Amino acid sequence: MTQVAQSPSTAASQNGHDSADSYAGLLPELTGEGLESIHQVEAKNQYGIDQQVNIVDELPLTIKVDGEELVTLMTLGSQPERLVLGYLRNQSLFEHPGQIKSVRVDWDRELAEVVTRDGNGLDGIDTSRKTVTSGCGQGTILSCTLDKLYDHRLPEVTLRQSDIYEVLHRVKDFNKAYRAAGSVHGCGLCRDGKVLMFIEDVGRHNAMDTISGEMWLKNMPGHDKIFYTTGRLTSEIVMKSALMGIPVLVSRNGTTNMGYELAVELGVTLIARAKSRQFTALNAHNMIFDAAPPVPPHMDSRRQKAR
């Protein structure tokens, strides 16, 4: 089954290195080959009792661009076409989705075939130098991504503490695969207290790329969004947030020093170890504390001494 993505009414991206304006109104044809990612298998529990357990898929999907092999991703396969588009976008390989004529996924061949409109594929783009990242499944960042990264420094936006709490409250309604089987990361795109999109995958970078692909297709800006992830806030995740134009990252996990330093350079606010009403805010000069919880007695006494 083939579906044609709806064309956005807004203008094309202005970041183009190949007159991206000429692709305004054009979007790729996409197959609809998303898979059900949860299966039941036989197992035994700690008492030796037979039971049925849920497990998730982990499938290889090789991306070819005009016949040239680029990379193989390990994925649940729930929205593979958007995953491919988001990967291409977040690696800075294309500046507008209209440069891509079609993305066709064939699970029998474990292949995603990307056809460009000009037929030049990856000509002139150096994909030979790759950095293996700390992402689940060993993600990679191409040299061309790093070369263009600092074109994406983000403007400072106001962040309210109440916005963080609302995100943490809303994402509880998601994580379907995690609740059923575990073994996945989840990412959510949020705005004004609503979860606009939530994706689970075996790697948080895949989930993030899938959301990026959907944003790309809809020409959706990132400056007014908050991005939630269950994974660590590493340099790779901060890079992709900047490339997507999203200035705030929220995670129930921690951050790395490289992730923090990059966030400072690119203008990304990190909200780490965010659970219930607790969090650690880094590079958060833009934050308004409008919903601070009661101060525990041991912290209150420490605060009095500091005075």
The domain locations on the chain are 2-150, 152-288
Element at 260 (helix H, strand E): helix 257-266
- Among 69, 57, 78, 82, residue whose Cα is nearest residue 111: 69
- Per-residue pLDDT, 142: 63
Q: How far is CA 13 from CA 85, 221, 273, in A?
A: 15, 10, 34
- Per-residue pLDDT, 14: 36
- Per-residue pLDDT, 15: 37
- Among 267, 264, 229, residue whose Cα is nearest residue 245: 267
- Per-residue pLDDT, 16: 39
What is the reported pTM? 0.85
Q: How far is CA 50 from CA 45, 54, 183, 213, in A?
A: 7, 13, 21, 41
Question: What CATH number belongs to 152-288?
Answer: 3.40.140.10
270: number of Cβ within 10 Å: 26
pLDDT tens by residue, the chain, 307 residues:
445 454 433 333 333 345 556 787 899 999 999 998 888 999 999 999 999 999 999 999 999 999 999 999 999 999 999 999 999 999 989 999 999 999 999 999 999 999 999 999 988 777 766 655 545 444 566 655 566 777 778 988 999 999 999 999 999 989 888 777 878 899 999 999 899 999 999 988 999 999 999 999 999 999 999 999 999 999 999 999 999 999 999 999 999 999 999 999 999 999 999 998 999 999 999 999 999 888 877 776 655 555 5
